[in-house]
Structure 1
Amino acid sequence: MDDVSHSNRNSFMRHAPLAAILTAAVVGYFTLGDYFTFETLQENREALMAFRDANYAGLVVAFVAVYFVIVAFSLPGAAVASVTGGFLFGLLAGTVFNVTAASLGAFAIFWAARLGLGRALAARMEASEGTIKRLKTGLHEHEISVLFLLRLVPAVPFFVANLVPALVGVRFFNYAFTTVLGIIPGAIVFTWIGVGLGEVFDRGESPDLSLLWEPEIIGPILGLCALAALPILIKTIRGRKEI
């Protein structure tokens, strides 16, 4: 009886972090959408700038912490946070802080999923035969390329790109490496928009995130997607030739 109780307690502890993230994501979606907005940023613009000038390091820590929580718990407002990084800190520093916070939040989701549901699911996939085993083998053969594609393809939600790799048992080093490098292009674009946000506010307008889909922006990102997919394509073609 004690062994069963201990096992249940361990199982609960393993699944608790992911359950907490999913719960926070659902609650945050319905309750926080009105807080993490550009209107909120505009209303607090002067206070934030004054605090930055008086305590730059303190604002950096606060910004990274808030952005980390947004990503780690999949709360609404990641785009606003990224633009805010450029608005407060400029293109270079803002990009560094955005990538740091987003990466740390992504790592938190990965380990929450890996230590809970991911461990059991990866073990089942390892023991499976047929299609599932072939899919898992194929993923590990092209792990870096697939992870880069998850980060670079604009249609893949950030939460999905954080969660799925943990559930299918990818190596954490590969996940971390591709996460940090893979989010840099998007982070630069969002930060760049934030750099000019003050002028947008002065005109009484809201930032236009449709810029992300302009050919000169989306083109290079899609080019990186094609580059990431190239090793998979080459290996597939070679495999067919050998057959």
Structure 2
Amino acid sequence: MYEDKEQAPRKRPLLRHAPLALIVVVAAIGAFTLRDYVTFDTLRDNREALLAFRDANFIAMVAVFVTVYVLIVAFSLPGAAVASVTGGFLFGLPWGTAFNVVSATLGAMAIFQAARMGLGRTLAAKMEAGEGTLKRIKEGLRENEVSVLFLLRLVPAVPFFVANLLPAMVGVKFRNFVWTTALGIIPGALVFTWIGVGLGEVFDRGEDPDLSLLWEPQIIGPILGLCALAALPIIIKAVRGKKGI
């Protein structure tokens, strides 16, 4: 009995790290085993079957699509862009965007909770007790949490999995993470869903969708404008701090 009580505290940290460890293992396996399958070629080869299934079983198709997309995001598997474009291809712009945003947000919530349960709790505790640089980082995040979360979502150069893991590691509020994720990914989701809406014509021409559309001036311009708006509160606070206002 005494030995069991001694071992119990040691097991709890391992259990806390288990969800994130599982995600890392599945992500590593998926990177090697799925990258040749979750592609636009696969979608092209199966598009007629997918459309037929959607027309006969719309609710079931939505459930399958959302489940697969959530798993892709939660386990950082390859194919998120393909899934987003598929949402537009199968469901059109309004519904496709809605399903893409809901699926990506649910997947992000899952990986956030897994990371916060393990490494995130440890790092957040260290930041809470830390002094010097750690203390300044902690206070800066606390004051600008929403703005930083929006920037992570809006800046196209930030990988989606990084924007999911980093907030969990530094102890941001879960509710702020959820609603900034849901709103912050809408611009990108609209672009990828829009590409998917015209996917049938692209396939008929024997081409692949052009995902570089995201970087066209008329697309990236408004997104960068949203980034500037998200960063504005941080800039104003920094200026006021320097001037002692």
| TM-score (normalised: structure 1) | 0.99
Code of the aligned partner of 2:33: T
Match of 1:127 in 2: 129
Q: 1:134 & 1:4 partners in 2: Cα distance? A: 37
Match of 2:53 in 1: 51
Match of 1:166 in 2: 168
The structure 1 residue matched to 2:185, chosen from 172, 176, 183, is: 183
The structure 1 residue matched to 2:202, chosen from 200, 203, 226, is: 200
Q: 1:107 & 1:180 partners in 2: Cα distance? A: 10
The structure 2 residue matched to 1:88, chosen from 87, 90, 102, is: 90
Q: 1:3 & 1:40 partners in 2: Cα distance? A: 53
Question: The residue matched to 2:203 in structure 1 has which SS?
Answer: helix
Match of 1:14 in 2: 16
The structure 2 residue matched to 1:40, chosen from 42, 57, 66, is: 42
Match of 1:99 in 2: 101
| TM-score (normalised: structure 2) | 0.98
RMSD: 0.8
Instruction: Give structure 1 stretches of 5+ with no counterpart.
Output: none
Instruction: Give structure 2 stretches of 5+ with no counterpart.
Output: none
The structure 1 residue matched to 2:76, chosen from 60, 74, 77, is: 74
Q: 2:16 & 2:161 partners in 1: Cα distance? A: 20
Q: 2:214 & 2:50 partners in 1: Cα distance? A: 26
The structure 2 residue matched to 1:230, chosen from 221, 226, 232, is: 232
Alpha-carbon offset, residue 13 of structure 1: 1.3
Alpha-carbon offset, residue 114 of structure 1: 0.8
| Percent identity of paired positions between Structure 1 and Structure 2 | 72
Q: 2:12 & 2:236 partners in 1: Cα distance? A: 44
The number of equivalent residue pairs is 243
Question: The residue matched to 1:17 in structure 2 has which SS?
Answer: helix
